[in-house]
Chains A and B, each alone.
Chain A
Amino acid sequence: MYPAEFAYERPSSLDGVFTALQQNPGDAKLLAGGQSLLPMMKLRLATPAMLVDLAGAAELRGQWRTDSGVRIGALTSYRELQRSPRTLSLLPGLADTLEVIADQQVRARGTVGGALAHGDPTADLPALMLALDAEVRIRSRGGERVVALGDFITGIFSTDLADDDVLTAVDVPLPPPSTGAAYEKFEQPASHLALCGVAAALAIEGGTIQHARVAMTGVSATPRRLTTVEDALLGAAADPSSLDEIAALAPHGVEPLNDLHAPAEYRSHLLEIATRRALHRAAARAGMRWTE
Protein backbone atom coordinates (compact mmCIF):
# COMPACT_ATOMS: atom_id res chain seq x y z
CA MET A 1 0.00 0.00 0.00
CA TYR A 2 1.18 3.47 -0.86
CA PRO A 3 0.12 6.66 0.84
CA ALA A 4 -1.42 9.30 -1.42
CA GLU A 5 1.15 11.66 -2.94
CA PHE A 6 2.66 14.30 -0.71
CA ALA A 7 5.63 16.63 -0.55
CA TYR A 8 8.24 16.05 2.13
CA GLU A 9 10.50 18.38 4.05
CA ARG A 10 12.87 17.77 6.92
CA PRO A 11 13.82 21.15 8.37
CA SER A 12 17.01 21.26 10.42
CA SER A 13 15.54 23.18 13.36
CA LEU A 14 12.30 23.96 15.12
CA ASP A 15 12.34 27.39 13.44
CA GLY A 16 12.49 25.67 10.09
CA VAL A 17 9.49 23.58 11.10
CA PHE A 18 7.48 26.71 11.83
CA THR A 19 8.51 28.19 8.49
CA ALA A 20 7.41 25.05 6.65
CA LEU A 21 4.07 25.10 8.47
CA GLN A 22 3.60 28.78 7.65
CA GLN A 23 4.30 28.19 3.96
CA ASN A 24 1.78 25.37 3.77
CA PRO A 25 -1.11 26.58 5.88
CA GLY A 26 -3.68 23.95 6.68
CA ASP A 27 -2.42 21.07 4.55
CA ALA A 28 0.84 20.09 6.24
CA LYS A 29 1.09 17.38 8.86
CA LEU A 30 3.94 16.88 11.30
CA LEU A 31 5.78 13.55 11.17
CA ALA A 32 7.56 12.21 14.26
CA GLY A 33 8.26 8.46 14.32
CA GLY A 34 5.45 7.74 11.89
CA GLN A 35 4.34 4.52 13.56
CA SER A 36 0.72 5.68 13.73
CA LEU A 37 0.58 8.33 11.01
CA LEU A 38 2.13 6.28 8.20
CA PRO A 39 -0.26 3.31 8.66
CA MET A 40 -3.17 5.77 8.56
CA MET A 41 -1.77 7.35 5.40
CA LYS A 42 -1.32 3.94 3.77
CA LEU A 43 -4.99 3.23 4.44
CA ARG A 44 -5.76 6.73 3.05
CA LEU A 45 -7.41 7.61 6.35
CA ALA A 46 -5.04 10.58 6.32
CA THR A 47 -4.01 12.31 3.08
CA PRO A 48 -1.88 15.33 3.97
CA ALA A 49 -0.48 17.24 0.99
CA MET A 50 2.78 17.73 2.84
CA LEU A 51 4.73 16.02 5.59
CA VAL A 52 7.06 18.09 7.73
CA ASP A 53 9.46 15.63 9.33
CA LEU A 54 10.48 16.76 12.82
CA ALA A 55 13.55 14.49 12.85
CA GLY A 56 15.95 17.35 12.13
CA ALA A 57 14.79 19.48 15.08
CA ALA A 58 17.37 18.62 17.73
CA GLU A 59 15.47 20.82 20.24
CA LEU A 60 12.87 18.07 20.48
CA ARG A 61 15.29 15.36 21.61
CA GLY A 62 16.46 14.67 25.12
CA GLN A 63 15.43 14.11 28.71
CA TRP A 64 16.02 16.69 31.40
CA ARG A 65 15.67 16.81 35.19
CA THR A 66 13.60 19.89 36.05
CA ASP A 67 12.82 21.49 39.42
CA SER A 68 9.58 19.57 39.72
CA GLY A 69 10.29 16.39 37.77
CA VAL A 70 11.36 15.18 34.35
CA ARG A 71 10.98 16.77 30.93
CA ILE A 72 10.91 14.34 28.02
CA GLY A 73 11.52 15.74 24.55
CA ALA A 74 8.76 14.96 22.08
CA LEU A 75 11.02 13.01 19.71
CA THR A 76 12.24 10.65 22.43
CA SER A 77 11.44 7.12 21.29
CA TYR A 78 9.99 4.44 23.53
CA ARG A 79 13.20 2.51 23.02
CA GLU A 80 15.32 5.44 24.17
CA LEU A 81 13.20 5.74 27.31
CA GLN A 82 13.53 2.02 27.96
CA ARG A 83 17.28 2.55 27.91
CA SER A 84 17.22 5.56 30.25
CA PRO A 85 17.62 4.15 33.78
CA ARG A 86 17.46 7.59 35.42
CA THR A 87 14.10 8.49 33.91
CA LEU A 88 12.75 5.01 34.63
CA SER A 89 13.81 5.29 38.28
CA LEU A 90 12.17 8.71 38.68
CA LEU A 91 8.86 7.84 37.03
CA PRO A 92 7.16 4.82 38.59
CA GLY A 93 5.15 2.65 36.22
CA LEU A 94 6.98 3.88 33.13
CA ALA A 95 9.04 0.71 32.64
CA ASP A 96 5.87 -1.42 32.87
CA THR A 97 4.08 0.67 30.31
CA LEU A 98 6.89 0.84 27.75
CA GLU A 99 7.34 -2.91 27.90
CA VAL A 100 3.83 -3.58 26.58
CA ILE A 101 3.65 -0.88 23.90
CA ALA A 102 3.47 -2.46 20.42
CA ASP A 103 6.64 -4.47 19.72
CA GLN A 104 10.41 -3.92 19.74
CA GLN A 105 10.57 -2.61 16.17
CA VAL A 106 7.73 -0.13 16.68
CA ARG A 107 9.18 0.97 20.03
CA ALA A 108 12.40 1.84 18.21
CA ARG A 109 10.58 4.42 16.05
CA GLY A 110 7.49 5.46 17.99
CA THR A 111 7.87 8.65 20.01
CA VAL A 112 6.40 10.09 23.18
CA GLY A 113 5.27 13.28 21.47
CA GLY A 114 3.83 11.41 18.52
CA ALA A 115 1.82 9.14 20.79
CA LEU A 116 0.29 12.04 22.69
CA ALA A 117 -0.32 14.26 19.64
CA HIS A 118 -1.98 11.44 17.73
CA GLY A 119 -4.83 11.24 20.25
CA ASP A 120 -5.44 7.54 19.74
CA PRO A 121 -8.01 6.43 22.34
CA THR A 122 -6.27 3.04 22.62
CA ALA A 123 -2.67 4.21 23.11
CA ASP A 124 -0.94 3.04 26.30
CA LEU A 125 1.24 5.98 27.23
CA PRO A 126 -1.58 8.51 27.88
CA ALA A 127 -2.98 6.36 30.72
CA LEU A 128 0.29 6.39 32.63
CA MET A 129 0.96 10.05 31.84
CA LEU A 130 -2.49 10.97 33.19
CA ALA A 131 -1.78 8.98 36.36
CA LEU A 132 1.48 10.91 36.73
CA ASP A 133 -0.20 14.34 36.23
CA ALA A 134 1.81 15.06 33.08
CA GLU A 135 1.56 18.31 31.14
CA VAL A 136 2.43 18.89 27.51
CA ARG A 137 4.48 21.82 26.28
CA ILE A 138 3.27 23.32 23.03
CA ARG A 139 5.14 25.87 20.90
CA SER A 140 3.92 28.01 18.08
CA ARG A 141 5.39 31.08 16.34
CA GLY A 142 3.54 33.15 18.90
CA GLY A 143 4.95 31.55 22.03
CA GLU A 144 4.69 28.59 24.33
CA ARG A 145 1.87 27.18 26.43
CA VAL A 146 1.65 24.33 28.89
CA VAL A 147 -1.51 22.23 29.03
CA ALA A 148 -2.50 19.48 31.46
CA LEU A 149 -2.69 16.22 29.49
CA GLY A 150 -6.29 15.67 30.57
CA ASP A 151 -7.28 18.97 28.92
CA PHE A 152 -5.04 18.37 25.89
CA ILE A 153 -6.88 15.19 24.85
CA THR A 154 -10.22 16.38 23.48
CA GLY A 155 -11.68 13.38 21.63
CA ILE A 156 -11.02 10.40 19.39
CA PHE A 157 -7.83 11.32 17.47
CA SER A 158 -8.33 14.92 18.47
CA THR A 159 -6.30 17.18 20.71
CA ASP A 160 -5.82 20.79 21.63
CA LEU A 161 -3.08 21.20 18.96
CA ALA A 162 -3.67 23.87 16.30
CA ASP A 163 -2.32 23.47 12.75
CA ASP A 164 0.73 25.58 13.49
CA ASP A 165 1.43 24.14 16.96
CA VAL A 166 4.26 21.77 17.77
CA LEU A 167 4.16 19.56 20.85
CA THR A 168 7.76 19.93 22.04
CA ALA A 169 7.93 18.01 25.31
CA VAL A 170 6.01 16.38 28.11
CA ASP A 171 6.62 17.51 31.70
CA VAL A 172 6.12 14.86 34.34
CA PRO A 173 6.25 15.96 37.98
CA LEU A 174 7.72 13.55 40.49
CA PRO A 175 4.96 11.82 42.45
CA PRO A 176 5.08 11.88 46.28
CA PRO A 177 7.98 9.87 47.74
CA SER A 178 7.54 6.09 47.81
CA THR A 179 4.71 6.18 45.28
CA GLY A 180 4.24 2.81 43.63
CA ALA A 181 2.76 2.60 40.16
CA ALA A 182 1.74 -0.08 37.71
CA TYR A 183 0.18 -0.45 34.27
CA GLU A 184 -2.09 -3.38 33.42
CA LYS A 185 -3.35 -4.03 29.94
CA PHE A 186 -5.57 -6.31 27.92
CA GLU A 187 -4.52 -5.97 24.31
CA GLN A 188 -5.95 -6.53 20.87
CA PRO A 189 -3.64 -9.38 19.83
CA ALA A 190 -2.91 -8.26 16.26
CA SER A 191 -2.30 -4.56 16.82
CA HIS A 192 -1.17 -4.78 20.47
CA LEU A 193 -3.32 -1.71 21.09
CA ALA A 194 -5.21 -1.61 24.37
CA LEU A 195 -8.72 -3.01 24.62
CA CYS A 196 -8.33 -1.79 28.16
CA GLY A 197 -5.31 -0.41 29.97
CA VAL A 198 -5.20 0.96 33.49
CA ALA A 199 -2.38 2.86 35.18
CA ALA A 200 -2.42 3.32 38.95
CA ALA A 201 -0.12 5.35 41.17
CA LEU A 202 -0.50 5.05 44.95
CA ALA A 203 1.34 6.36 47.99
CA ILE A 204 0.61 4.71 51.33
CA GLU A 205 1.41 5.87 54.84
CA GLY A 206 0.50 4.05 58.05
CA GLY A 207 -1.67 1.61 56.14
CA THR A 208 -3.75 4.38 54.58
CA ILE A 209 -3.73 5.57 50.99
CA GLN A 210 -2.44 9.16 50.89
CA HIS A 211 -2.14 9.72 47.14
CA ALA A 212 -4.09 8.03 44.38
CA ARG A 213 -4.14 8.48 40.64
CA VAL A 214 -5.87 5.97 38.38
CA ALA A 215 -6.31 6.44 34.62
CA MET A 216 -7.47 4.24 31.80
CA THR A 217 -7.14 3.93 28.05
CA GLY A 218 -8.80 1.88 25.31
CA VAL A 219 -12.19 1.73 26.97
CA SER A 220 -13.86 4.99 25.97
CA ALA A 221 -13.46 7.80 23.44
CA THR A 222 -10.48 9.26 25.26
CA PRO A 223 -8.01 8.06 27.86
CA ARG A 224 -8.99 9.64 31.15
CA ARG A 225 -8.63 9.55 34.90
CA LEU A 226 -11.06 7.45 36.94
CA THR A 227 -11.86 10.09 39.54
CA THR A 228 -14.55 8.02 41.25
CA VAL A 229 -11.93 5.37 41.98
CA GLU A 230 -9.36 7.97 43.04
CA ASP A 231 -11.82 9.62 45.47
CA ALA A 232 -12.68 6.27 47.03
CA LEU A 233 -9.02 5.34 47.41
CA LEU A 234 -7.96 8.51 49.16
CA GLY A 235 -7.93 7.84 52.88
CA ALA A 236 -9.00 4.22 52.43
CA ALA A 237 -7.24 1.33 54.15
CA ALA A 238 -4.55 -0.19 51.97
CA ASP A 239 -5.67 -3.78 52.16
CA PRO A 240 -6.63 -6.22 49.41
CA SER A 241 -10.35 -6.34 50.16
CA SER A 242 -10.81 -2.60 50.12
CA LEU A 243 -8.78 -2.34 46.90
CA ASP A 244 -11.05 -4.97 45.33
CA GLU A 245 -14.16 -3.15 46.47
CA ILE A 246 -12.92 0.15 45.08
CA ALA A 247 -11.83 -1.45 41.78
CA ALA A 248 -15.44 -2.49 41.25
CA LEU A 249 -16.28 1.23 40.93
CA ALA A 250 -14.05 1.61 37.87
CA PRO A 251 -16.77 1.27 35.19
CA HIS A 252 -18.85 3.88 37.00
CA GLY A 253 -19.58 6.83 34.71
CA VAL A 254 -17.51 5.43 31.83
CA GLU A 255 -19.14 5.14 28.41
CA PRO A 256 -17.35 2.16 26.86
CA LEU A 257 -16.57 1.90 23.14
CA ASN A 258 -18.48 -0.78 21.29
CA ASP A 259 -16.68 -1.94 18.15
CA LEU A 260 -15.53 -4.98 16.23
CA HIS A 261 -12.69 -5.57 18.70
CA ALA A 262 -14.83 -5.80 21.83
CA PRO A 263 -18.40 -5.11 22.90
CA ALA A 264 -19.00 -2.41 25.48
CA GLU A 265 -19.97 -4.84 28.22
CA TYR A 266 -16.73 -6.78 27.80
CA ARG A 267 -14.65 -3.60 27.93
CA SER A 268 -16.41 -2.60 31.17
CA HIS A 269 -15.61 -5.98 32.63
CA LEU A 270 -11.95 -5.70 31.59
CA LEU A 271 -11.84 -2.25 33.13
CA GLU A 272 -12.68 -3.61 36.57
CA ILE A 273 -10.18 -6.47 36.28
CA ALA A 274 -7.35 -4.28 35.00
CA THR A 275 -8.07 -1.68 37.70
CA ARG A 276 -7.95 -4.34 40.41
CA ARG A 277 -4.66 -5.74 39.15
CA ALA A 278 -3.11 -2.31 38.72
CA LEU A 279 -4.16 -1.25 42.24
CA HIS A 280 -2.75 -4.44 43.79
CA ARG A 281 0.55 -4.13 41.99
CA ALA A 282 0.88 -0.39 42.63
CA ALA A 283 0.09 -0.92 46.32
CA ALA A 284 2.67 -3.69 46.61
CA ARG A 285 5.23 -1.40 45.04
CA ALA A 286 4.20 1.40 47.40
CA GLY A 287 5.16 -0.83 50.29
CA MET A 288 1.89 -2.53 51.16
CA ARG A 289 2.51 -5.96 52.67
CA TRP A 290 -0.12 -8.56 53.32
CA THR A 291 -0.59 -12.27 53.31
CA GLU A 292 -3.27 -13.57 51.00
Chain B
Amino acid sequence: MDPARNTDVVVDLEVNGRSEVRTVPARTLLVHFLRENLGLTGTHVGCDTTQCGACTVELDGVAVKSCTVLAAQAAGSTVRTIEDASASTDGGLDRVQRAFWDEHGLQCGFCTPGMVLAVRQLLRDNPRPTDDEIRHGIDGNLCRCTGYQNIVAAARKAAEAGPTMAKAD
Protein backbone atom coordinates (compact mmCIF):
# COMPACT_ATOMS: atom_id res chain seq x y z
CA MET B 1 0.00 0.00 0.00
CA ASP B 2 1.42 3.34 -1.07
CA PRO B 3 1.46 5.43 2.14
CA ALA B 4 0.83 8.59 0.14
CA ARG B 5 -2.43 7.25 -1.15
CA ASN B 6 -5.50 8.61 0.57
CA THR B 7 -7.66 5.80 1.89
CA ASP B 8 -10.31 8.10 3.39
CA VAL B 9 -13.43 9.22 1.57
CA VAL B 10 -16.02 11.89 2.23
CA VAL B 11 -19.45 10.29 2.37
CA ASP B 12 -22.29 12.71 1.84
CA LEU B 13 -25.75 11.14 1.82
CA GLU B 14 -29.28 11.41 3.12
CA VAL B 15 -30.32 9.00 5.86
CA ASN B 16 -33.89 8.88 7.08
CA GLY B 17 -34.51 12.34 5.70
CA ARG B 18 -31.41 13.96 7.23
CA SER B 19 -28.30 15.04 5.38
CA GLU B 20 -25.17 13.45 6.81
CA VAL B 21 -21.54 14.04 5.93
CA ARG B 22 -18.69 12.02 7.41
CA THR B 23 -15.10 11.33 6.45
CA VAL B 24 -14.42 7.62 6.88
CA PRO B 25 -11.97 4.98 5.64
CA ALA B 26 -12.96 3.86 2.14
CA ARG B 27 -13.32 0.31 3.38
CA THR B 28 -16.19 1.29 5.71
CA LEU B 29 -19.25 -0.79 4.91
CA LEU B 30 -22.60 0.95 4.84
CA VAL B 31 -23.86 -1.12 7.77
CA HIS B 32 -20.96 0.01 9.96
CA PHE B 33 -21.38 3.60 8.79
CA LEU B 34 -25.01 3.50 9.88
CA ARG B 35 -24.38 1.79 13.19
CA GLU B 36 -21.08 3.30 14.30
CA ASN B 37 -20.91 6.69 12.63
CA LEU B 38 -24.59 7.56 12.82
CA GLY B 39 -25.64 5.46 15.84
CA LEU B 40 -28.50 3.80 13.95
CA THR B 41 -28.24 0.35 15.52
CA GLY B 42 -31.57 -0.96 14.28
CA THR B 43 -29.73 -2.29 11.23
CA HIS B 44 -28.12 -5.52 12.39
CA VAL B 45 -25.00 -7.44 11.42
CA GLY B 46 -25.83 -11.12 11.29
CA CYS B 47 -23.77 -13.32 9.00
CA ASP B 48 -21.70 -10.50 7.48
CA THR B 49 -21.50 -12.65 4.31
CA THR B 50 -24.47 -11.41 2.23
CA GLN B 51 -26.66 -14.32 3.22
CA CYS B 52 -28.82 -13.51 6.24
CA GLY B 53 -30.34 -10.14 5.33
CA ALA B 54 -30.33 -8.75 8.90
CA CYS B 55 -28.49 -5.70 7.54
CA THR B 56 -31.15 -4.88 4.92
CA VAL B 57 -31.79 -1.18 4.31
CA GLU B 58 -33.42 0.78 1.50
CA LEU B 59 -30.89 2.43 -0.80
CA ASP B 60 -32.56 4.87 -3.19
CA GLY B 61 -35.84 3.14 -2.39
CA VAL B 62 -34.69 -0.44 -3.00
CA ALA B 63 -33.85 -3.08 -0.37
CA VAL B 64 -30.15 -3.99 -0.34
CA LYS B 65 -27.77 -5.75 2.04
CA SER B 66 -25.77 -3.00 3.72
CA CYS B 67 -22.95 -5.38 4.71
CA THR B 68 -22.21 -5.67 1.00
CA VAL B 69 -22.29 -2.01 0.03
CA LEU B 70 -19.48 0.44 0.79
CA ALA B 71 -20.51 3.64 2.50
CA ALA B 72 -18.57 5.30 -0.34
CA GLN B 73 -20.88 3.65 -2.90
CA ALA B 74 -23.88 5.10 -1.10
CA ALA B 75 -22.50 8.66 -1.27
CA GLY B 76 -25.00 10.86 -3.06
CA SER B 77 -27.83 8.44 -2.36
CA THR B 78 -30.80 8.25 -0.05
CA VAL B 79 -30.84 5.58 2.66
CA ARG B 80 -33.77 4.53 4.76
CA THR B 81 -33.34 2.28 7.78
CA ILE B 82 -35.74 0.47 10.08
CA GLU B 83 -35.69 3.49 12.41
CA ASP B 84 -37.65 5.34 9.75
CA ALA B 85 -40.01 2.52 8.75
CA SER B 86 -42.90 3.89 10.75
CA ALA B 87 -42.18 7.55 9.94
CA SER B 88 -45.35 7.85 7.89
CA THR B 89 -47.49 6.53 10.74
CA ASP B 90 -48.58 8.56 13.71
CA GLY B 91 -45.93 7.31 16.12
CA GLY B 92 -47.06 3.73 15.69
CA LEU B 93 -46.05 0.86 13.45
CA ASP B 94 -46.30 0.67 9.68
CA ARG B 95 -48.55 -2.01 8.27
CA VAL B 96 -45.76 -4.56 7.84
CA GLN B 97 -44.52 -4.04 11.41
CA ARG B 98 -48.13 -4.22 12.64
CA ALA B 99 -48.63 -7.50 10.80
CA PHE B 100 -45.44 -8.96 12.34
CA TRP B 101 -46.81 -7.96 15.76
CA ASP B 102 -50.27 -9.40 15.11
CA GLU B 103 -49.05 -12.68 13.59
CA HIS B 104 -46.19 -13.23 16.07
CA GLY B 105 -43.74 -13.00 13.18
CA LEU B 106 -40.74 -12.68 15.48
CA GLN B 107 -39.26 -14.29 18.54
CA CYS B 108 -35.78 -12.99 19.38
CA GLY B 109 -36.22 -10.14 16.93
CA PHE B 110 -32.68 -10.10 15.57
CA CYS B 111 -33.72 -10.72 11.96
CA THR B 112 -36.84 -8.57 12.19
CA PRO B 113 -35.55 -5.20 10.93
CA GLY B 114 -34.23 -6.91 7.80
CA MET B 115 -37.33 -9.06 7.43
CA VAL B 116 -39.63 -6.03 7.66
CA LEU B 117 -37.67 -4.16 4.99
CA ALA B 118 -37.51 -7.27 2.77
CA VAL B 119 -41.27 -7.74 3.06
CA ARG B 120 -41.84 -4.07 2.26
CA GLN B 121 -39.77 -4.51 -0.91
CA LEU B 122 -41.63 -7.68 -1.81
CA LEU B 123 -44.99 -5.95 -1.44
CA ARG B 124 -43.93 -2.92 -3.46
CA ASP B 125 -42.98 -5.26 -6.31
CA ASN B 126 -45.86 -7.65 -5.88
CA PRO B 127 -48.77 -6.29 -3.84
CA ARG B 128 -50.69 -9.59 -3.81
CA PRO B 129 -48.10 -12.37 -3.46
CA THR B 130 -48.96 -16.03 -3.06
CA ASP B 131 -47.35 -17.87 -0.14
CA ASP B 132 -44.78 -19.32 -2.56
CA GLU B 133 -43.96 -15.85 -3.82
CA ILE B 134 -43.60 -14.60 -0.25
CA ARG B 135 -41.16 -17.40 0.56
CA HIS B 136 -39.20 -16.71 -2.60
CA GLY B 137 -39.24 -12.96 -1.88
CA ILE B 138 -37.70 -13.34 1.57
CA ASP B 139 -35.21 -16.04 0.70
CA GLY B 140 -32.42 -13.53 1.20
CA ASN B 141 -33.36 -13.28 4.88
CA LEU B 142 -32.68 -15.90 7.51
CA CYS B 143 -34.62 -16.38 10.75
CA ARG B 144 -33.41 -18.92 13.28
CA CYS B 145 -36.43 -18.77 15.64
CA THR B 146 -39.77 -18.82 13.91
CA GLY B 147 -39.48 -21.48 11.21
CA TYR B 148 -40.80 -18.73 8.90
CA GLN B 149 -44.45 -19.81 9.16
CA ASN B 150 -45.54 -16.72 11.06
CA ILE B 151 -43.34 -14.44 8.99
CA VAL B 152 -45.14 -15.66 5.88
CA ALA B 153 -48.45 -15.16 7.68
CA ALA B 154 -47.37 -11.62 8.57
CA ALA B 155 -46.43 -10.83 4.98
CA ARG B 156 -49.78 -12.20 3.81
CA LYS B 157 -51.61 -10.09 6.38
CA ALA B 158 -49.65 -6.98 5.45
CA ALA B 159 -50.57 -7.56 1.80
CA GLU B 160 -54.24 -7.82 2.74
CA ALA B 161 -53.96 -4.62 4.76
CA GLY B 162 -53.48 -2.61 1.57
CA PRO B 163 -50.82 -0.71 -0.32
CA THR B 164 -47.58 0.14 1.40
CA MET B 165 -46.92 3.76 2.24
CA ALA B 166 -43.32 3.45 1.10
CA LYS B 167 -42.14 5.26 -1.98
CA ALA B 168 -41.85 3.20 -5.13
CA ASP B 169 -38.49 3.24 -6.83
Residues of A within 8 A of B118 (CB): 104-105
Fill in one digit per residue for B53-67: 1 if any A CB lies within 8 Å of its CB, else 0. 100100100111100
User: Which one of B25, B49, B140 lies within 8 Å of A105 (CB-CB)?
Assistant: B140
Residue of A nearest to B52 (CB): A190
B12 within 8 A of partner (CB): no
| With A34-B68, A49-B1: A105-B53 Cβ-Cβ less than 8 Å | yes
Complex CA–CA separation, A190 to B139 (angstroms): 10
Does B27 lie within 8 Å of A4, measured CB to CB? yes
Residues of A within 8 A of B65 (CB): 105-106, 109
B122 within 8 A of partner (CB): yes
B29 within 8 A of partner (CB): yes
Does B140 lie within 8 Å of A106, measured CB to CB? yes
Residue of B nearest to A35 (CB): B68
Does A1 lie within 8 Å of B27, measured CB to CB? no
A240 within 8 A of partner (CB): no
Does B25 lie within 8 Å of A5, measured CB to CB? yes
B153 within 8 A of partner (CB): no
Quick one: which of A73-112 are within 8 Å of B by CB?
Answer: 79, 99, 102-106, 108-109
A239 within 8 A of partner (CB): no
Residues of A within 8 A of B9 (CB): 8
Chain A contact residues, majority secondary structure: mixed
Residue of A nearest to B50 (CB): A39
Does A10 lie within 8 Å of B72, measured CB to CB? yes
Distance of B85 from chain A, by nearest CB (Å): 16
Interface size class of A (residues with CB under 8 A): 20 to 34
- Of the stretches A50-58, A114-122, A250-258, the one at the interface is A50-58
B51 within 8 A of partner (CB): yes
Complex CA–CA separation, A192 to B141 (angstroms): 12
B112 within 8 A of partner (CB): no
Complex CA–CA separation, A103 to B49 (angstroms): 13
Quick one: which of B1-44 are within 8 Å of A by CB?
Answer: 1-2, 5-7, 9, 25-29, 32
Residues of B within 8 A of A105 (CB): 53, 56, 63-65, 118, 121, 140
Does A6 lie within 8 Å of B121, measured CB to CB? no
Residues of A within 8 A of B127 (CB): none
Could you list some 25 contacts between A and B, CB below 8 A? A1-B48, A2-B29, A5-B7, A6-B26, A6-B27, A7-B7, A8-B26, A34-B69, A34-B73, A35-B68, A38-B29, A39-B50, A39-B68, A42-B49, A49-B1, A49-B2, A50-B5, A51-B26, A99-B136, A104-B118, A104-B137, A105-B121, A106-B50, A106-B140, A108-B62
Q: A49-B2, A104-B125, A108-B64 are in contact. List 14 more A-B contacts (CB 8 A).
A: A2-B27, A3-B27, A5-B25, A8-B26, A8-B70, A34-B70, A34-B73, A38-B69, A49-B1, A53-B73, A103-B53, A104-B140, A105-B63, A109-B69
A contact residues vs B (CB 8 Å cutoff): 1-8, 10, 31, 34-35, 38-39, 41-42, 49-51, 53, 55, 79, 99, 102-106, 108-109, 190-192
Q: Which 6 A/B pairs are nearest by Cβ-Cβ distance? A: A103-B140, A8-B26, A108-B62, A3-B27, A7-B5, A105-B65
